[in-house]
Amino acid sequence: MELNYRFRDPALAQLALTHRSVGKPNNERLEFLGDALLGAIVAEMLYEAHPKASEGELSRLRAQLVNGQALAVVARELALGDGLKLGPGELKSGGFRRDSILADAFEAMVAAVYLDGGFDACREVVRGLFDERIAALRRSSKDAKTRLQEWLQAAGLPLPQYELVASHGEDHAKTFDVSCTISEPMTFTAQAHGGNRRAAEQDAAELVLHRLLEQPRAS
């Protein structure tokens, strides 16, 4: 995959690939700007692709696309790691392979395109990179429990624990309170309410997955 953009000022692209371990100037300010640009453009794309989705659903979809692991995948497809400038310590420890460094470099590159060519050029680049990813989200039929389990398994972490907290009402109109708990990478419990236990488990799993995807990256 290619970035599909030619810089008028190549120094901006070089700055986007300069990690803070090198010293100053580095890509931290660009990463800050790129994070905001990326979030806005992906939000626009999701708004168009999912006209019936609620605000919460759109937020969850964006979190699936704009998180450290997902952005590191894009960075690897663009081979950004090959051009990273790292300090001796990061270079020795293999920082060019680290998700957080790659994701930050990608966000910085988005900002570099914006500063070099303007918002329309930046928007075109991001849309080109995320069109198929958003289409894949629309095709996906996996439920929240499955997606949470797969996320944890991919990270080599323990599976979630579901517990019936309480049930309410008559047998013909019972409602259920269910909790979903994970122990790693952090201890977190979400609770949801549903007309049946399975529905409540799905909603609780969605809350946990959203929390995981919102976690800040460690640089």
Among residues 90, 99, 104, 107, the one annotated as catalytic is: 107
Coil, strand or helix: which one is 218? coil
Nearest to 190 by CA among 155, 148, 143: 148
Q: How many CB atoms lie within 10 A of CB 93?
A: 12
Catalytic status, residue 107? yes
Q: Please identify which residue in the block is written with the tokens 């979809």.
A: 61
CA–CA dist 123, 98 (Å, integer): 26
Rounded to the nearest angstrom, the gap between the alpha carbon of residue 179 and the centroid of all alpha carbons in its chain is 24
Q: How many CB atoms lie within 10 A of CB 217?
A: 15
- The torsion region of residue 53 among left (phi > 0), alpha (psi -120 to 50) and beta comes to beta
Among residues 35, 99, 116, 206, the one annotated as catalytic is: 35
Backbone angles phi, psi at 166, to 5 degrees: -165, 160
Coil, strand or helix: which one is 101? helix
Q: Which two tokens stand for residue 122?
A: 């930046």
Catalytic status, residue 35? yes
CA–CA dist 131, 136 (Å, integer): 9
Cβ neighbours of residue 181 closer than 8 Å, sequence gap 6 or more: 160, 161, 162, 163, 187, 188, 189
Return the active site residues.
35, 107
